[in-house]
Structure 1
Amino acid sequence: MYDLILSTNKALDRSCINDHSGYGDMLDDPSLSSSSSSSSLPPLPTPESFPFPYPKPYDIQLQLMQTVFRAIEDGKIAIVESPTGTGKSLSLLTSTLTWLASHQARLETAIETSLRTQLATDDPDDPSWVIEHAVKARMNELHSVQEARKERLMKARARERKIRQAGGNGAFRGVKKVKVGNGSGTSGKSDIKEDEDFLPEDKDKDEEEDGPYLSREVRELMSKYEATRPKQHVEEEEEEDMPKIYYTSRTHTQLRQLTSELLKTTFAIDNDPSSTDPTAGVETEAGPSQGVSLVPLGSRKQLCINDKVRALAKSGGDERINEACLDMQKSGKARCEFLPAKADEAAMLDARDAVLASVKDIEDIVSDGRKSCVCPYYATRRAVKQSQMVTLPYNLLLQKNAREALDISLKDQVVVIDEAHNLIDTLLSIHSTTVTSTNLSNAVSQLQQYLQRFKSRLKPVHALWIRQVLTVLQGLIRVCSKFVEDSKSSTAANGKGKAKAEVLNANVLMERAGGGSDQVNPMELVAYLKESKLARKISGFSEHMAEKAAANEPKTSRSATARHASIAAFHVVEAFLLSLVDAKDDGRVLLSMDESGTTGTPVVTIKYVLLNPAERFKEVVEEARSVVLAGGTMEPISDFMQQLFPAIPIGRFATLSCSHVIPKENLLTQVVCVGPRKVEFEFKYSNRGDDALLTELGAVIQSTVGLVPDGVVVFVPSYAFLDKVKTFWTQSGLFQRLGDRKQLFFEPQTSGDVETVLRDYALAISSANAVSTTGEKSRKTGALLFAVVGGKLSEGINFSDGLGRCVIMVGLPFANVGSVELQERMRYVEKLPGAGADASREMYENLCMRAVNQSIGRAIRHANDYACILLVDKRYATPRIRHKLPKWIGEDVKVQSEFGGVARGIAAFFKEKRARGM
């Protein structure tokens, strides 16, 4: 039905009612546009109830849905906090899709009303039946557009059901995979690189933007055809953007969980043939009749189904996959067998409709793509404009270049950012880039080799720009060499072994590069790099040369990973240069040196650091109709107001901090100020290695594990601290004693081992319970897991029920205040408009407390869960720190001045739970 609204202008141009003057003017009325502001449409009231998938939502769920609905309708920025386990995702989905459905109905009504009013105004002498007849004819024509879309998607669903019921055999269109010939007239030579491929592209040649199917020759023919084509016909073929929700989160795993949550709602159509839901696709008061069209966007690495291209990721990474994919779209090449030619575009449109037909996650779309033999990456891209909801990871939404590459327009759309507690750090991270002196040397070598090979074939403009790029890189190498000399001189003069670091802005860096590089216009340089695709050309040529060298020297000891790192050097350099262009006054360049390399030559790192996330996020805020920031632990919210929205009036915000759904008696939070031997806990960086303090901490943990059943999770401030306690408690025999009560586990060093550790941890807990039910006495009562704040287990992991009956937070994990990068960030915050004298301290504490809140929030995961939380550091007793805990925790924190009170509190808490049979 959304197509109906969006196709109004195009359909009315084809109207049979052409004799009413002023009709075309009416079509330009912004009130008829689906992307117009809410002020030109009748306002939507906030619903008293929502089509929630469960009989009665909790009060906090209803509050969240009403807050989000109202914020979207009023075009506001919503910052909402809803603890994990309170149905946050379902509430966000229900509220946003309810608004979308209501907005669609409002648009249709507005169009019909405006048609009737305009026709009556233009020809007041026309009888009412003539006007009604004209309106009915027009609305019927518009509804036919929706019916056509409905029929397409129903056919796509039917194809899916047929394939799934048949056990997954067969393709959607019944077309066999046929490899496309290389078109070069050579046999077995499809992988041979032609020099023509490595030449820089001219300004008017852009394969990526011109579409995924078109060869160079076809694009040239089309450009000639478009030049002579009537303008109105060109516009008719442009696919318009439907109103939609862009829903983003940190990881693909979190987005996959969102898809499963969406399938619980009345907005989704599940095309599983085993589904017995009688309401799927049925018109109800709860939601739209045809279901929501969801498109999960991902990278080529996630969506590519060409096994040869995917194999490149093992040694070449994402960039190598991108290059190989684009290379296989060129004329005269071995075309990707999964990318339909323009002549068979119907196959791609069928794949697009298959994506839109029912709710799927990326794995489903990849599976369907293999069956239909059509590329899922380009199928999802084609489906975006006709979708009502798009899910995508942070980096694809927050970077302008990524949005442009995916042809994503946020204009008047709704943006929901889940797990938004990470938003500021994510923005700073994805817009910060690093290049080393090794990268620069490799890039210069590649560029010189490239120039030598192609100097006679390069157009003068390309030769000029490539030499200017070479000048800039050589200048940066001189900066690195000078920095090494100065660092060694400073170290020798001061007698200190620590290498110095230096902070400067982008202009100073370019001035130091000298040699004419400071005369290069950075904007023009970056524009050239984008237009010519020089990084792709250089990397492709370098890889070609490396392959030839490897063929001549098969026994080379150089690994494929090391070889690719060298080949990819120019991509790294290009990313750094792109960052410098955006540097302005809200970024800094940090120079540092590492002498620990195996070559003995110091390696200089040049890092561009973004300090102002608001400037990059402003594009999203200004384009979108509404932005919703949601998370389980958004406190402290002051950082978002100060660092992300410094210039936005307070009246444009809607905020909500929900309490938890669990009863208060299911959570016990205590501040442990002292240990059993009266030693005060204050884990400052300077005393974290104090033996007496570690001994006292060990006594607290030993006492606690004797009182708590099942799983206990201990969060420590850093990996270094974890290594210290492991060494100290192993020597003291404490780990032996702890292991007698609970099986011990530690956060793994690599991400790949996380699932194994969690599985074994859960198994140890369930095994202990299984033994106890047989009547046999066992000393072990569960498991004890040591994790690091901000590490692999502190976010996105659920320690629900028996996996986390107690969470012990050791100290406050403050960042290293000696970090040059952190110091620059704190100085920048102090200079923000309205920032007080305490702004940098506030930011420093907020960084710490946000990490704490994420960690302790792992314990309570649903309404019937229960756990105790121990905050082991006397600083948690101060009002300043306590007020930065989540409201659902901070309201009932008990500050214990002696450890006896802590132990009695834990014992009573679990005794009461046993008495209730929990």
Structure 2
Amino acid sequence: MVDDASLSSLSPLPTPESFPFPYPKPYDIQLQLMQTVFRAIEDGKIAIVESPTGTGKSLSLLTSTLTWLSSHQARLDTAIETSIREQMAADDPDDPPWVIEHAVKARMNELKAGQEARAERLAKARAKERKIRQRGGSGAFRGGGGGVKRLKMGENGASVDVGTDNEKQDDQFLPEDKEEAEQEGPYLSKEVRDLMSKYEATRPKQHVEEEVEEDVPKIYYTSRTHTQLRQLTSELLKTSFAIGNDPTPSSSTEPNTEAGPSHGVSLVPLGSRKQLCINNKVRAMAKSGGDERLNEICLDMQKSGKARCEFLPAKADESIMLDARDAVLASVKDIEDIVADGRMSCVCPYYATRRAVKQSQIVTLPYNLLLQKNAREALDINLKNQVIVIDEAHNLIDTLLTIHSTAITSTNLANAISQLQQYLRRFRSRLKPVHALWIRQVLTVLQGLVRVCEVFVQDRKTALNGQVKTKSEMLNANELMERVGGGSDQVNPMELVAYLKESKLARKISGFSEHVAEQAAAKEVKTSRSATGRHASIAAFHIVEAFLLSLVDAKDDGRVLISVEDSTTISTPVVAIKYLLLNPAERFKEVVEQARSVVLAGGTMEPISDFLQQLFPAVSKDRFATLSCSHVIPKENLLTQVVCAGPRKVEFEFKHSNRGDDSLLTELGAVIQSTIGLIPDGVVVFSPSYAFLGKAKTFWQGTGLMQRLGDRKQLFFEPQTSGDVETVLRDYALAISSVNVASATGEKSRRKGALLFAVVGGKLSEGINFSDGLGRCVIMVGLPFANVGSVELQERMRYVEKLPGAGPDASREMYENMCMRAVNQSIGRAIRHANDYACILLVDKRYATPRIKNKLPRWIGEDVKVQTDFGGVARGVAAFFKEKRARGLAC
């Protein structure tokens, strides 16, 4: 293995011609971004880069990272030859130079032969794909005529050889011993491996490709959702890096795939079993149990004595899985493509993508699979000396805090105890003594947690209307465990969690509980329990296990919050115990230490002080490279105004204490009514909270303003459920397009476009594209500060104040940054490409203060106009769109 330090540094920076950008000439800011990222990777730095949406950020990131990867691989090949020569000379210094050179040449030929064999495999896989597409057939991964050997399955995918004996049927629910847990692989159990080893020792050797795979240098590219990663795949296909890419003629608007030779970079999109499983029987069995149940069924079907999944080849058929791996690597595909190929070839896409990771040069995956250590271990992801790109990184801190925080309720605990007691009754006589001992210990801990809940409720009961007072208590993990044990130290949490992992007890109890529930349901024609309630009950022990894992990992950077949930009566209070992670740096530390370079990228990364203080407190400043790009749009295409007061001279300052003030709502309504008539197409109004939007809507309906707004533009409101978002957006777009069609045909309409009311941090404030006519104006109402009275927020602010190097203003800075990051995300919805134009109205006088104004994105903050008089606001908006009409851009 060649040490990175032995590779010569690349200097100077690549020029525009050096980057095989897919368009003839990149923008200056695109070149700046590519050079910054390239140099950061080369120097092993942490890059924090901001490039507004619509500036080709994804293409710039792909081009820069893959250009570096290509250069690095070329240097690596040269360094390997030098390293081999030096090693051979050191091993036997008496050998003449010609002997050493001959040996080096032979070794390099071996390595070259391996690379050529890989290229030949992938070429064959691509040729097979082309034939399949041409004939519309199946069998992408399988050889021969595409015939598939099916394994016999019983009813609902259950094993056919279980028999009718209850004890034999229940064996699957017994806890696993440590040795079994250690040796269980993704394919076979220990027993089957032993039998196969004996068989392999006696049978004639056949040629099956055996590889000791090493991780090739690669880019791990992560984003928030699979939708965003799918868009990245589309961007990669525009470049010359994509394997098997067919060049197309270049123009000013079409990708220039002739910018360089095809680099043959392979991509693997990683996902969960939920997204990649193609076994319909398994999916049906797991439908009521959620993702955990799907994982359990999949793993159980890989054990001896079980009906094997028909889509997962046995170890003896390893060549089939290797063909599947090569098919994944052969060309750039998204998850949907891989699933479709898997269905055609009858080979599991989940395990095919896992096998392809080591030989892939770019791996895309959602946040949770990269940021959680147990997820990385499950996928065998090794970050050592690799490059990490985290896109949409503005919410990285919150994501780290969220995915490492867990909660249980007294209801979860009651269900888990019931399941465990039922499990003990069934298996008491069959459990090994060590398992019986540990299961009783687990039961003791759960009962201790229930006692904590009962004591908490008892201490906080009040006679006020028969309600439980919703106070809360904060403590650390050690204090909670002391209460659980009643002051004794009989249970060692570390050993307890280790047992849960080794025995897979949560999986066993969950499976057993579902088995019992299915038997009970089969005896009843109707059941009163909903599928959701049944899922929650079955998943209870998984929730408890996750909570205990968090407590063990708590160190000093976590807290436990105990509270009574709202809307619970004094007779049936529900207590919630939540573990809160306060320090994201500790969980992100391993990623930073292992990776060669980490790139945090986003459209709105400002303010970046939170990243430096909360994510990288121990990293020296000289290891950072930062860049905040301006926008590609002309300055005249953006108008940003601070609206300090309304038409009646009422000043705007939407604090929590006065958000419901009638005079303030009346003035805000007047601003919206006065401006929307000046703006064509769509206007989006972002409110600081759902409560504020609800209050304003009710008030305006009472005053008749809502009717008057509706006369000018068709009204839409952010839906309460996520499933309705697409419908609202579709209808909003149709309302705008129908007005434009009517205008083009000469028809007259009283309405001009549409008005959409949304909420900052809601379903429409991130990841939604309000380009062109969908967002000619964004009106930001107030500053969406979080509830400073929140116990969780107060604890986090106290923690930030104690961080090394934190100034006296650290907690206030964090509080403001949380607010402004949400603001920046919302107002960034409007400008989405180089020819777009929009105006932004910031309705609150606090936006004029330097402290807040300086936290706006640079491309917005440079030309903000502060208007103390509303007349100036109206004149500015009118002039802005008059100029666009004069240029033929607006109607």
Q: What TM-score do the two structures reach when normalised by structure 1?
A: 0.91
Q: Which letter maps to 2:215?
A: D
Q: Which letter maps to 2:126?
A: R
For the pair 1:48 / 2:23, whether they are aligned, the reply is no
Q: Which letter maps to 1:43?
A: S
1:344 is matched with: 317
The answer as to whether partners of 2:267 and 2:360 remain within 8 angstroms in 1 is yes
Deviations 1:254-309 (A, max 9, x none): 000000001011100357xxx56499xxxx99667451110000001100111122
2:223 is matched with: 249
1:354 to 1:685, Cα distance in 2 relative to 1, 3 A: same
Deviations 1:384-418 (A, max 9, x none): 11110100000000000000011111011110000
For the pair 1:85 / 2:58, whether they are aligned, the reply is no
The answer as to whether partners of 1:182 and 1:332 remain within 8 angstroms in 2 is no
The answer as to whether partners of 1:244 and 1:413 remain within 8 angstroms in 2 is yes
Deviates more, 1:428-437 or 1:755-764: 755-764
- Distance across 2 between alignment mates of 1:264 and 1:447: 55
Which one of the candidate residues 435, 438, 453 is aligned to 2:426?
A: 453
1:119 to 1:278, Cα distance in 2 relative to 1, 3 A: farther
1:331 is matched with: 304
1:168 to 1:657, Cα distance in 2 relative to 1, 3 A: farther
1:656 to 1:812, Cα distance in 2 relative to 1, 3 A: same
1:269 is matched with: 243
- Distance across 1 between alignment mates of 2:480 and 2:640: 51
2:850 is matched with: 879
The answer as to whether partners of 2:610 and 2:817 remain within 8 angstroms in 1 is yes
1:569 is matched with: 540
- Distance across 2 between alignment mates of 1:210 and 1:287: 46
- Distance across 1 between alignment mates of 2:758 and 2:704: 20
2:179 is matched with: 204
TM-superposed CA distance for 1:114, in Å, is: 3.3
Deviates more, 1:112-121 or 1:815-824: 112-121
Q: Which letter maps to 1:442?
A: N
TM-superposed CA distance for 1:131, in Å, is: 4.3
Partner SS, residue 385 of structure 1: coil
TM-superposed CA distance for 1:515, in Å, is: 4.4
For the pair 1:71 / 2:45, whether they are aligned, the reply is no
The answer as to whether partners of 1:471 and 1:515 remain within 8 angstroms in 2 is no
For the pair 1:159 / 2:132, whether they are aligned, the reply is no
- Distance across 2 between alignment mates of 1:847 and 1:227: 63
The answer as to whether partners of 1:301 and 1:313 remain within 8 angstroms in 2 is no
Partner SS, residue 421 of structure 1: helix
- Distance across 2 between alignment mates of 1:443 and 1:125: 71
Which one of the candidate residues 523, 526, 530 is aligned to 1:552?
A: 523
1:494 to 1:764, Cα distance in 2 relative to 1, 3 A: closer
Which one of the candidate residues 174, 178, 194 is aligned to 2:169?
A: 194
TM-superposed CA distance for 1:497, in Å, is: 6.9
1:473 is matched with: 446
2:273 is matched with: 300
For the pair 1:646 / 2:617, whether they are aligned, the reply is yes
Partner SS, residue 657 of structure 2: helix
1:26 is matched with: none
The answer as to whether partners of 2:607 and 2:821 remain within 8 angstroms in 1 is yes
TM-superposed CA distance for 1:311, in Å, is: 2.7
Q: Which letter maps to 2:769?
A: N
TM-superposed CA distance for 1:682, in Å, is: 0.6
For the pair 1:849 / 2:820, whether they are aligned, the reply is yes
1:112 is matched with: 81
TM-superposed CA distance for 1:494, in Å, is: 13
2:253 is matched with: none
Partner SS, residue 179 of structure 2: coil
1:868 to 1:270, Cα distance in 2 relative to 1, 3 A: farther
The answer as to whether partners of 1:98 and 1:287 remain within 8 angstroms in 2 is no
- Distance across 2 between alignment mates of 1:287 and 1:397: 32
Which one of the candidate residues 460, 469, 472 is aligned to 1:501?
A: 472
Q: Which letter maps to 2:27?
A: Y
- Distance across 2 between alignment mates of 1:80 and 1:332: 53
Q: Which letter maps to 2:560?
A: V
- Distance across 2 between alignment mates of 1:648 and 1:710: 48
For the pair 1:414 / 2:387, whether they are aligned, the reply is yes
- Distance across 1 between alignment mates of 2:621 and 2:48: 12
**Matching of residues 112-191 of structure 1 within 5 Å:** 112-119=81-88, 129-173=98-142, 174-181=145-152, 186=161
Q: Which letter maps to 2:861?
A: G
1:619 is matched with: 590
User: Mind listing any 5+ residue stretches in structure 1 that lack a counterpart?
Assistant: 1-31, 229-234
2:234 is matched with: 260
**Matching of residues 489-888 of structure 1 within 5 Å:** 491-492=462-463, 498-515=469-486, 518-594=489-565, 596-597=567-568, 600-888=571-859
TM-superposed CA distance for 1:191, in Å, is: 12
The answer as to whether partners of 2:472 and 2:564 remain within 8 angstroms in 1 is yes
- Distance across 2 between alignment mates of 1:187 and 1:110: 57
TM-superposed CA distance for 1:344, in Å, is: 1.5
- Distance across 1 between alignment mates of 2:288 and 2:875: 57
TM-superposed CA distance for 1:827, in Å, is: 0.5
- Distance across 2 between alignment mates of 1:117 and 1:830: 53
Deviates more, 1:826-835 or 1:104-113: 104-113
- Distance across 2 between alignment mates of 1:510 and 1:427: 24
TM-superposed CA distance for 1:236, in Å, is: 8.2
> RMSD of the TM alignment (CA)?
2.5
- Distance across 1 between alignment mates of 2:543 and 2:379: 21
TM-superposed CA distance for 1:634, in Å, is: 0.4
1:14 is matched with: none
Partner SS, residue 784 of structure 1: strand
Partner SS, residue 832 of structure 2: coil
Give the percent of matched residue pairs that are identical in Structure 1 and Structure 2. Answer: 84
TM-superposed CA distance for 1:883, in Å, is: 0.4
- Distance across 1 between alignment mates of 2:588 and 2:595: 11
Deviations 1:295-341 (A, max 9, x none): 00000110011112223454221111111111222222222111112
Partner SS, residue 288 of structure 2: helix
- Distance across 2 between alignment mates of 1:395 and 1:227: 42
Q: Which letter maps to 1:377?
A: Y
- Distance across 1 between alignment mates of 2:575 and 2:94: 82
TM-superposed CA distance for 1:186, in Å, is: 4.3
The answer as to whether partners of 1:671 and 1:896 remain within 8 angstroms in 2 is yes
- Distance across 1 between alignment mates of 2:201 and 2:821: 56
1:3 is matched with: none
2:886 is matched with: 915
- Distance across 2 between alignment mates of 1:62 and 1:339: 46
Q: Which letter maps to 1:596?
A: S
- Distance across 1 between alignment mates of 2:751 and 2:344: 51
Matched positions, count: 868
TM-superposed CA distance for 1:142, in Å, is: 1.3
The answer as to whether partners of 2:800 and 2:811 remain within 8 angstroms in 1 is yes
- Distance across 2 between alignment mates of 1:673 and 1:516: 58
Partner SS, residue 311 of structure 1: helix
TM-superposed CA distance for 1:121, in Å, is: 6.3
Deviations 1:552-587 (A, max 9, x none): 223221112211211110000000000000111100
Deviations 1:110-155 (A, max 9, x none): 1223334555666677665544443333222211001100111011
For the pair 1:59 / 2:28, whether they are aligned, the reply is yes
The answer as to whether partners of 1:471 and 1:516 remain within 8 angstroms in 2 is no
For the pair 1:353 / 2:321, whether they are aligned, the reply is no
1:19 is matched with: none
- Distance across 2 between alignment mates of 1:278 and 1:200: 62
TM-superposed CA distance for 1:448, in Å, is: 1.1
For the pair 1:427 / 2:400, whether they are aligned, the reply is yes
Q: Which letter maps to 1:220?
A: D
1:215 is matched with: 189
